[in-house]
Amino acid sequence: MNAMHTNMKNRIIMMAFALSAAVASAATITVDDFANHNTQANSNNLSLTKTENGLTLTFGVLGTSNSGWDAFGTGTSTFGQSGAWFDAQYVKFGNSGNQQLLDFRITNNTGSDVKLTNISFDIRKQPGNANPTGWQLLYLATGDSALIKGASVASGSEMVNLAGLGTDTIEGGINNYSESIGGNIQGTAWIANGDYANIRLKINTAAAGASSQMDNFSVTVTPVPEPRTYALIGGLLALGCAVMRRRISGKNGSV
Instruction: Report the sign of the C-alpha dihedral through residues 205, 140, 34, 81, in that order.
Output: positive
Model confidence band, residue 226 (pLDDT cutoffs 50, 70, 90)? low
Provide the CATH topology of domain 26-246.
Jelly Rolls (2.60.120)
Cα separation values, 195 from 17, 147, 229, Å:
29, 9, 20
Segment 53-77, tens digit of pLDDT: 999 999 986 655 566 799 999 999 8
Amino acid 81 reads Q
Segment 159-217, tens digit of pLDDT: 999 999 999 999 999 999 999 999 999 999 999 999 999 999 999 999 999 999 999 99
Average pLDDT over residues 43-50: 93
Give Cα 253 to chain centroid, integer Å: 55
Distance CA 199, CA 194 (A): 17
pTM: 0.82
Taking CB atoms within 8 Å and a gap of at least 24, the contacts of 152-156 are 152/113, 152/190, 152/224, 153/113, 153/190, 153/192, 156/188, 156/190
- DSSP 8-state code for residue 99: G
Residue extents of the structural domains in the chain? 26-246
